[in-house]
Structure 1
Amino acid sequence: MAEALGLDYWLQWQVLVCALIILIPAVISLNLTIKTSKKQVHQKLKSCDLWLPCWKNLHPKWLLLYRVIAFCFMALLLCQTMVSFGPFIFFYYTQWTVALVLVYFMIGIIVSARGCWIYFKEPFGRVEDREMLVAKDYSKNAHESTTDIKDVGAINSIQQEAGALENLMQSIYHACGGAVMLTDLVFWFILQPLSGDTLTILLGLLHSVNVVFLVLDSAFNNHPFPWSNFTYFVLWSCAYVISQWTVHVFGVVTWWPYPFLELDTPWAPAWYFGLALFHIPCYGLYSLLIKAKDFILSRMSPRTYSSLPSESTEMNIAWSMDNTQ
């Protein structure tokens, strides 16, 4: 074990300022997350939102297959990174993010597999049936008026609210959306240009496939991406920084994985505050990608692309009625 940093190091004025920059957003985010969960301000997430593709004619098995491929590739990449650089590679935010995306795809495989089982068990002969099933505000009246749907029991099985696993998957998804942007933007536009080190294929893949795989998943999934879930991204980053401070306090390591985490400089508060603010455009950029996907594809292919779950039922019903005429 490395020698712990001295008490003088932790009593510097900038350490207290940086601690406040970390703790204040963490406490606020945690408080907002708990309040949102208790009050249930937003529409309740449905189980089918996490495994039913946004493309009307696309079978859920293809989303499952994609998630299996993404999981296997990223798991192989992470293992290769550990073999090449050792276990201390997990002191870096990049590996934390890759591991988080890996967990997302792992849970996604379980959720998609369960969804495919329901889909195979309760076959839907018409695209209209599926459109009614994915309607976010599907009501009892709509249920009673749609007597030609093949199996009413299938509606109940798919329209059930998301369980603990689905909600966990959705929370991780929002943390990943901001984290992959933060990881790759910092690496490609700050760390790599300043370091001048030779870029290897492994490092290049490590700082690109995370966002590529997640964006491709977003292109096919039906997840909502509200700004209210920005708190999960903030909590994830705060957890990383707090873990770094903890291992330094106990002398596990004395070196910082990133130069902007170093506290023994009067510029530390500026770095910490700048990175804290940078979380907003990172999350906003991913949110913009989701909105752009919905805006562009719904107009390029309105008869095959289904809007996000936040859209009204009337749009889905109108599409179904128009398709049957």
Structure 2
Amino acid sequence: MRFITGAGASGARSYQPLATADTTDLRYWLHWRVGLCALWVLGCMSVAAYLIWRREGPGADRRPGGASYPDNPSAREGRRRPDGVLYDDEAWRPCLRDIHPAWLLAYRLISFFVLLSLLVVIVISDGGNIFYYYTQWTFILVTIYFGLGTALSIYGCSKFTDENVAAVAADMEHGTNYIAHGVAAKTAFDEHDGGREIAGFWGYLLQIIYQTNAGAVMLTDCVFWFIIFPFLTVKDYNLNFLLIGMHSVNAVFLLGEAALNSLRFPWFRIAYFFLWTALYVIFQWIVHAATPTWWPYPFLDLSSNLAPLWYLAVAVMQLPCYVVFKLVIKLKHCLLTKWFPISFVRG
């Protein structure tokens, strides 16, 4: 893969990769390199499919080899829930009981509008070709996450208010004093009370997108700053505000979200990160099989003898990227458990 530099849309020096082979030629795809790269991709997808089938959802433990998790809330009391189970209130409540859900709503709303505005500016500046890149795919997914999160937070705030109104009415009816705003709703946060509602489709979708973004954002930013950026520096490429924003703002907002929300972070959902990356690779293969065009990332070019090593390296790199975010979540739990032992909500 070769590159040339020239004036970009913003007037700065940019790079344009040049195609090294005709990807529409059948002989290009019948090479041993393609078969080996396809093996890495299919291997990741197979592992992901098994993990999802085995662990996802409230019915996962009823599959072969698992202990059943009762549908009856009273029967679940005192039992440890499986990793694949998500409660409805976890999609919208903060990780501390003393924080009103409206604060998480405000954060998600601001993040959504900032990311959406940046995305619109980039499309206007550089055109639709930006969607050719994994970075933009992930950036769109992060934006969708905050949009969906905002909608669920609005629903959660409404539900939170209704619960408090009902609790006040019950206290007045029984002649008890209402101590503090939100106390009644806090009791529903206990892990083993047996009365918490299992999340619906949108709650699970939010959780899946959240953990997909966790790995994908780390991967895009690490690849850019540690692999692509040094190359661009050698080529005298001038970074602009939009390029820096696309490879930093997404991580900043997602880390802030992780610090505030109460969503769980089980290991098995790395499967969705695997599928997201594999989907992008397959998309690139389909596009190149239909059109002789350049590869957005040099290491995706299958004409190089090093292509299988590059594909394997990217596949392996997904693990540490996901681990980094997992460690951030663990650090958050350790600190909040120490600083706010009563207020911290343990998922």
TM-score (norm 1): 0.85
Match of 1:319 in 2: none
Q: How does 1:31-110 map to 2 (within 5 A)?
A: 31-37=50-56, 38-40=59-61, 41-42=82-83, 44-110=85-151
The answer to whether the aligner puts 1:135 opposite 2:190 as a matched pair is: yes
Distance 1:128 1:61 in 2: 16
Indicate the residue corresponding to 1:289 in structure 2: 328
1:128 Cα offset (Å): 4.7
1:111 equivalent in alignment to 2:152: yes
Q: Segments of 4+ in structure 1 off by > 4 A?
A: none
1:269 pairs, out of 308, 312, 318, with: 308
The answer (yes or no) to whether the contact 2:123–2:130 under 8 Å persists in 1 is yes
Higher RCO (CA 8 Å, separation ≥ 6 residues): 1
User: Does the 8 Å CA contact 1:5/1:254 hold for their aligned counterparts?
Assistant: no
Counterparts of 1:227 and 1:55, CA distance in 2: 23
Relative to structure 1, is the Cα distance of residues 302 and 35 closer, same or farther in structure 2, using a 3 angstrom cutoff?
A: closer
Q: Larger helix proportion, structure 1 or 2? A: 1
CA shift for structure 1 position 195: 1.8
Identity %: 40
The DSSP-based 3-state class of the residue aligned with 1:237 is helix
Q: Tell me, yes or no, if the aligned pair for 1:223 and 1:308 is still in contact at 8 Å.
A: no
Structure 1 residue runs without a partner (length 5+): 140-155, 310-325
C-alpha distance 117-25 of structure 1, shift in aligned 2 (>3 A) = same
Structure 1 residues 43 and 18: CA distance shift in structure 2, 3 A: closer
| 1:229 and 2:250 matched | no
* Separation of aligned partners in 2, 1:264 and 1:288: 37
Superposed CA RMSD in Å reads 1.7
| Contact persistence 2:145–2:206 (CA under 8 A) | yes
Q: Spell out, residue by residue over 1:256-282, the C-alpha distance to the aligned partner (whole angstroms, 9 max, x if none).
A: 000010110100000000010000000
The total of aligned residue pairs comes to 288
Name the structure 2 match of 1:255: 294
Shift of residue 137 of structure 1? 2.0
- Do 1:184 and 1:207's aligned partners in 2 also have CA atoms closer than 8 Å? yes
| 8 Å contact kept, 2:97–2:345 | no
Please report the TM-score for the alignment, with normalisation by the length of structure 2: 0.79
The amino acid of 2:303's aligned partner reads D
Preserved contact between residue 95 and residue 262 of structure 2 (Cα < 8 Å): yes
1:303–1:137 CA distance, 2 compared to 1 (3 A): closer
Aligned counterpart, 2:49: 30
Is 1:308 equivalent to 2:327 in the alignment? no
Supply the distance in 1 between the matched residues of 2:242 and 2:149 (Cα, whole angstroms): 25
Task: Report the equivalent of 1:206.
Answer: 246
| Aligned match of 1:186 | 223
CA distance in 1, matches of 2:301, 2:246: 24
Matched, 1:164 2:231: no
Matched to 2:25, the amino acid is G
